[in-house]
Structure 1
Amino acid sequence: MTIGRRRLGQGIAATAGGLALPGLIAGPAEAQRSANTLRIAFRDAVPNIDPYFNSQRTGLIIAHQAFDGLVHRDPGTFRIVPALATEWTWVDAKTIDFTLRQGVKFHDGSDFTADDVVYTITTVSKPETRVATPSNYAWIEGCEKTGPNTVRLTMKRPTPAALEYLAMVTPIWPKAYRERVGPDGFSRMPIGTGPYRFTKVDVAAGVEYERFDGYYQGGPKGRPAIQKLTARFIGDAATELTELLGQRVDWIWNMNPDQMANVNRLPFLQATQQESMRVAFLSLDAAGRSGADNPMTKLKARQAVWHAIDRNAIATRLVGGGSRVPAAPCFPSQFGCNADAAVKYDYDPNKAKALLAEAGYPNGFEIEFTSYIQPRQWSEAVQNYLQAAGIRARLNLMQVAAQIQRSQRGELAMQMGSWGSYSINDVSAILPNYFAGSADDYARDEELTALVNAGGNTADEAARKAAYDAAIKRATENAYWLPLFTYVSTYAFQKQLEFPTFADELPRFYLAKWK
């Protein structure tokens, strides 16, 4: 089967060949440079700007510009460095003591204190708070103030990746402000201690920031060169690219990589790629949450799906840029992600058809196939492979938030999505979310859950690896969750913009600057 490539529209191709399009001149970008403003476009809206209450990558990115955690992970080395805490000591495998930085201000001018840390960590670790990704905080027992500028964090179990979670997904709230305005008020105008502060929040349209000149001395993110950021939510890839070409935005990402060469021919734009820790996947409803009679409850039908899709062709011909096909349900660099432990499934459409017949579907079956993945050609390629094997998948392309809501209600028999592990380089950031009883778990396999939990309940590396190996073997032999390919982020932005990219899929606008 041949996977086609989307051709660029006539207007874009013509421009790349040297024919001018109306409005494609240097003026608009130069105006933004003069105004010291960067205009950003994201494809998906975020229903809650508070990072604890959304699980979308866009939400993590938006929050990262405005919030800091106790520690920071250097994007180039992945080394943990000081942020709101200047020092930390592992007392034992389940206890860390932190010394807090003094002189830090929140965006409203109030002082950062130990009370803010205790309040944040205690609140988000409580089940009743209903954070978007409970597994990110389920390891936390509590946090207490041990002195004017010291706190102690205790864990329910040894958590070797604790500092990664504190760096990537545990920003600190201002206790007094959040208690005064309440959770809803805070989501409408969050404040943190980061290098940018929000000046406007509209969950339907976008957000605006300005540089926070009170960002603390020695902060790991530094003082931003660009004064203002405006981030718009644009619902589809075509409109997003049109806005970039018309110079109404300065930066986009995750555009169709087929467009890179043509974009790079334009005198005022540049496009580049960077592999990320994000994995695209198919989640199959083995547990029957969407209906006990759904075909995905049958092992051979699920195995047929795994054999039906030429994942390598999708990775190399559509995604490109060095995309890989993970054998295990995790990103290859993550601790515990052992490809050798996974049961392998070759692309074999004939075997897929035979398995369907053995499962009781000699003529195949129909099934709803939901996806929020863009470009849509990636979802369509999966659909085409499935249909060639006899699985008539009705593709329903959805917005990210809408699909997540349906998924967590248990309504989806077959869904295509992606998971970036919050850029945490440990399988504890992915396996529990899909195999340990969360709202995203469509396996509901008690033995698998026990293995995943065993891997997360010890600091012994050998024991962790053994438990995760067994979990990977069970997850793949039962064909619960199919890793399709790793993401390669494709960025396009104004040539006048200096913008560094990193492997953790976290754009850092505070490091960008106009040339």
Structure 2
Amino acid sequence: MFRLPVLRRFRIGAVVAAIAVALPLAACSTGGGSSDSGSSSEATDTLNLAIPPSALTLDPAQMQPTNSRYIWGSIYESLAYWDPQTGAVTPWAAKGWAYSPDGKTLTIQLRDGLTFSDGSAVLASDVAATINRSVNTSGYIQSVDTAVASAEASDDKTVLVHFKYYDPKWVSLMGREVGVIAKASNLNSPDIATNPIGSGPYTLDTQASVPGTKYVLRKRKDYWDAESFPFSTINVNIVNDPTAQLNAFKAGQANATIVTSQQVSGAKAVEGATVTQVDATTVYWLLFLDKYGKSSNPEFKDVRVRQAVNYALDRDGIANKLLQGHATPTDQVFFPSRDVFDKDLEQKYPYDPAKAKELLAQAGYPNGFTIEIPSSQATQQFEPTLSQELGAVGITLKWVPIPESQTASIILTGQYQLYLKQSGIVSDPYTAALYFTPDGGTVNPEKYTDPTITSIYDKITTTVDPKQSIEVYKELNNYAVDQALAAPVTMTAALWATSQGVTFVDRAGLPSDIRQFGVAGK
């Protein structure tokens, strides 16, 4: 029996190569890979991806927003998608949805023609069963489904999702792993994690696939909108090393891959190749893990210490020199392609080591302090620079190597009080909930909040109209920057190399996935 392994978590040494594939799905509308991102008379109907590894399971309750989405996002249908042109959450398997006035019930209407890979119809009861199982099963999805009480089908096409309280981020998650649709009768199958009955545009060819190395996806001819997916076959090749990824691209073994800033010229040297840069798809930021001051290193409880860290960072130098201009310095964690981003906050913490030293002295640390911080392949490029800049103001960083398999869970242990984290672009409600509420999971493992945050978020969760809530989110962003609840470093760009005949479209700064690839001229 074919078994999908649990691949090693995302590992890659170069920062720019680490950005797009570890994040949630960005789907597309019909013809998502449009011809204006490249053109060629040599069209292909096979997409050969070369990507780094990540944890992989096809169990809908255990899915994670990593580059494994190339596989499970093809096998499972999603209720919605994120439009790569605008970033808007757009109906897909769901033809529409609406909240009740109090935001505690979401009514979802399914479109006609949805079927599973075994030919049976997708029903609202399947959607409800998938949601309920994820809510009641330990895993990543459960950690972001905390507001969901239950889901039910009122008829074959209508799903009612009941919430304990209004959760403004949930609709955006319908375009990610939360919105996948599995067959109710298949949810308890022993093969659910390896070879499930899917609802999406592709099926996994278990005979042609090699676990941990290559996954072959075959297009379903009976899929309701097959025209939106031009590739009859998608080969997802798992490649550990970025140099090997580029070599596969040069050799024609891959017609799409992520490249680093140092690899751009090499990729462009391939005849007919195009390198597309998508700005600000990932934020790198120093996460303060003990703002309550409960640990043996309680320094970050003091706002002046957190502000000192922000003043100590030469963000322009990191973006323009270390990352060779393929990044944008930032003082906030909200993304510039979204509504809450405030350009007036971008000069809140100019590079000022003298100011940083002054604040540390005021906080009672005139001689600074030493702090341990986890080291992994994703942080190594930053480590010398961060050590130098923070060390110059008196904060000595002691980098402690950790196994790559622990990079996602290590911050939950309470062992470390500082962590360099990489987070992909998401919706504003999702960013706000994860960074600044007790429901943040690994983004806010200490469940930090304070009276001001609670008051602001009470406004958010009682404002069901998204447009009316934008100003409240901006209030939260302003407060978070003023209180230095985090120390953002830079927003990095995604660099995608595609061969002649393959197009790539992303204007909204979304994480990449198969729905953003297309065939030139189609």
In the alignment, what sits opposite 2:355?
A: 351
For 2:141 and 2:324, how far apart are their aligned partners in 1?
30
For 1:302 and 1:330, how far apart are their aligned partners in 2?
18
| Residue 112 of structure 1, aligned match among 116, 122, 130 | 122
Cα contact 2:117–2:220 (8 A) shared by 1: yes
In the alignment, what sits opposite 1:14?
A: none
In the alignment, what sits opposite 2:248?
A: 243
In the alignment, what sits opposite 2:502?
A: 497
5+ long unaligned stretches in structure 2? 1-13, 16-41
In the alignment, what sits opposite 1:252?
A: 257
For 1:107 and 1:434, how far apart are their aligned partners in 2?
38
For 2:345 and 2:504, how far apart are their aligned partners in 1?
38
Q: CA deviation at 1:119?
A: 0.8
In the alignment, what sits opposite 1:175?
A: 184
Q: Does 1:196 align with 2:202?
A: yes
Matched residue type, 1:274: V
Matched residue type, 1:486: M
**Higher RCO (C-alpha 8 Å, min separation 6):** 2
- Would the alpha carbon gap of residues 284 and 86 (structure 1) be closer, same or farther in structure 2, given more than 3 Å must change? closer
| Residue 229 of structure 1, aligned match among 209, 220, 234 | 234
Cα contact 2:275–2:498 (8 A) shared by 1: yes
Q: CA deviation at 1:177?
A: 1.0
- Would the alpha carbon gap of residues 451 and 47 (structure 1) be closer, same or farther in structure 2, given more than 3 Å must change? farther
| Residue 486 of structure 2, aligned match among 475, 481, 484 | 481
Q: CA deviation at 1:450?
A: 1.4
Report SS of the residue matched to 1:475. helix
For 2:44 and 2:296, how far apart are their aligned partners in 1?
59
Cα contact 2:85–2:506 (8 A) shared by 1: no
For 1:434 and 1:276, how far apart are their aligned partners in 2?
18
- Would the alpha carbon gap of residues 192 and 93 (structure 1) be closer, same or farther in structure 2, given more than 3 Å must change? farther
For 2:67 and 2:363, how far apart are their aligned partners in 1?
40
- Would the alpha carbon gap of residues 288 and 450 (structure 1) be closer, same or farther in structure 2, given more than 3 Å must change? closer
For 1:510 and 1:478, how far apart are their aligned partners in 2?
38
Cα contact 1:276–1:505 (8 A) shared by 2: no
Q: CA deviation at 1:156?
A: 3.5
- 67-76 or 168-177: bigger deviation: 67-76
- Would the alpha carbon gap of residues 378 and 190 (structure 1) be closer, same or farther in structure 2, given more than 3 Å must change? farther
Q: Does 1:213 align with 2:221?
A: yes
- Would the alpha carbon gap of residues 414 and 67 (structure 1) be closer, same or farther in structure 2, given more than 3 Å must change? same
Cα contact 2:306–2:486 (8 A) shared by 1: no
| Residue 338 of structure 2, aligned match among 330, 334, 339 | 334
Cα contact 2:239–2:245 (8 A) shared by 1: yes
- Would the alpha carbon gap of residues 267 and 462 (structure 1) be closer, same or farther in structure 2, given more than 3 Å must change? closer
Report SS of the residue matched to 1:58. coil
In the alignment, what sits opposite 1:278?
A: 282
Cα contact 1:205–1:232 (8 A) shared by 2: yes
Q: CA deviation at 1:75?
A: 2.3
Matched residue type, 1:493: T
For 1:117 and 1:372, how far apart are their aligned partners in 2?
38
Q: CA deviation at 1:280?
A: 1.7
For 2:240 and 2:354, how far apart are their aligned partners in 1?
38
| Residue 416 of structure 2, aligned match among 412, 418, 423 | 412
Matched residue type, 1:118: A
For 1:202 and 1:384, how far apart are their aligned partners in 2?
44
Deviations 1:346-381 (A, max 9, x none): 111222233334444444333333355748434543
Q: How does 1:114-193 map to 2 (within 5 A)?
A: 114-124=124-134, 126=135, 128-134=136-142, 136-159=144-167, 162-169=170-177, 170-181=179-190, 185-193=191-199
For 2:464 and 2:166, how far apart are their aligned partners in 1?
5
In the alignment, what sits opposite 1:393?
A: 397
For 2:347 and 2:475, how far apart are their aligned partners in 1?
11
In the alignment, what sits opposite 2:108?
A: 98
In the alignment, what sits opposite 2:10?
A: none
Matched residue type, 2:441: A
For 1:392 and 1:339, how far apart are their aligned partners in 2?
31
Cα contact 1:419–1:430 (8 A) shared by 2: no
Q: CA deviation at 1:466?
A: 5.5
Provide the TM-score with structure 2 as the length reference: 0.78
For 1:129 and 1:274, how far apart are their aligned partners in 2?
35
- 289-298 or 325-334: bigger deviation: 289-298
Over aligned residues, Cα RMSD in angstroms?
Answer: 3.5
- Would the alpha carbon gap of residues 93 and 411 (structure 1) be closer, same or farther in structure 2, given more than 3 Å must change? same
Cα contact 2:44–2:519 (8 A) shared by 1: no
Cα contact 2:278–2:495 (8 A) shared by 1: yes
Cα contact 1:451–1:467 (8 A) shared by 2: no
| Residue 512 of structure 2, aligned match among 496, 506, 509 | 506
| Residue 457 of structure 2, aligned match among 453, 471, 484 | 453
Provide the TM-score with structure 1 as the length reference: 0.79
For 1:289 and 1:67, how far apart are their aligned partners in 2?
44
- Would the alpha carbon gap of residues 460 and 499 (structure 1) be closer, same or farther in structure 2, given more than 3 Å must change? closer
Report SS of the residue matched to 1:194. coil
Give the paired residue count.
473
Q: Does 1:370 align with 2:346?
A: no
In the alignment, what sits opposite 1:15?
A: none
Q: CA deviation at 1:176?
A: 0.8
For 2:174 and 2:78, how far apart are their aligned partners in 1?
6
Matched residue type, 1:244: F
Matched residue type, 1:84: A
Cα contact 1:371–1:417 (8 A) shared by 2: no
- Would the alpha carbon gap of residues 42 and 413 (structure 1) be closer, same or farther in structure 2, given more than 3 Å must change? farther
In the alignment, what sits opposite 1:472?
A: 477
- 378-387 or 190-199: bigger deviation: 378-387
Report SS of the residue matched to 1:53. coil
- Would the alpha carbon gap of residues 39 and 471 (structure 1) be closer, same or farther in structure 2, given more than 3 Å must change? same
- Would the alpha carbon gap of residues 379 and 269 (structure 1) be closer, same or farther in structure 2, given more than 3 Å must change? farther
Report SS of the residue matched to 2:408. helix
Q: CA deviation at 1:186?
A: 1.8
In the alignment, what sits opposite 1:22?
A: none
5+ long unaligned stretches in structure 1? 7-32
Q: Does 1:432 align with 2:429?
A: no
Deviations 1:182-211 (A, max 9, x none): xxx322234432222223477744533221
- 459-468 or 273-282: bigger deviation: 459-468
